[in-house]
Amino acid sequence: MKNLLLFVFLTTSFMGVAQSDEVQLKSDFAKYASALKSRQYTQATSYMPDNLFNVYNKEKLVQEMKQTFESADTEVKINSVEVVSMDSKIVDGSQVYIPFQFRQQFELKYINLFDATDDEQSRDSTTKFIVDMLNESLPDSSIRFDKKKEVFAIDNLKNALAVKSTTDDTWKFLVIEPSLKNVMGRLLPATVIQKTKL
């Protein structure tokens, strides 16, 4: 009976820790996503791992985010960002890692997409070309053109890694972008790369 009670206690304690991690991760990721949605780019970088800035200049990254979201040619509107799945926790020394996937839904509007003289066939050809281009640059995405709003609606599934020190309360996030593939060895321990198959 004592062994059964101990097992139940340990199991519920473990589940409590796991649930606590999940709740905190989702809360911190929501803050990160909120900073991006409200275009507070410097604030968004505070939710990125510090060692990322040994590889990328923080000010340059902020400028790149600004150019992406505030281009003269396009308008980007993030509608929702949601964590959809989490893998098992990986502990390496004093660092904790949790691989996860999130779904982001956003709208992309090209300013002056059509000329006033464009006919229906020309418009369809233009939108098909852009959908094909977006599909190539955003794999694992569902992309459609909303004729009424003249925006490209994008539903995108992305992989990411939550990182924190065992002494920290706040998670930081590394979104696994193709541009990071060549520098993963400088950002993550070999054990994490191997277990997450990055």
pTM: 0.81
Of 34, 20, 43, 197, the residue nearest 104 (C-alpha):
34
Counted residue by residue, the chain has a size of 198
179 band by pLDDT with thresholds 50, 70 and 90: confident
Produce one character per residue of 36-48: b if its CB has 16 or more CB atoms within 10 Å, e if not.
bbeeebeebbebb
CA distance 70 to 78: 12
Six token digits for residue 95: 């660092």
| 107 in Cβ contact with 149 (< 8 Å) | yes
Q: 75-107: per-residue pLDDT in tens?
A: 999 999 999 999 999 999 999 999 999 999 999
Predicted pLDDT of residue 20: 84
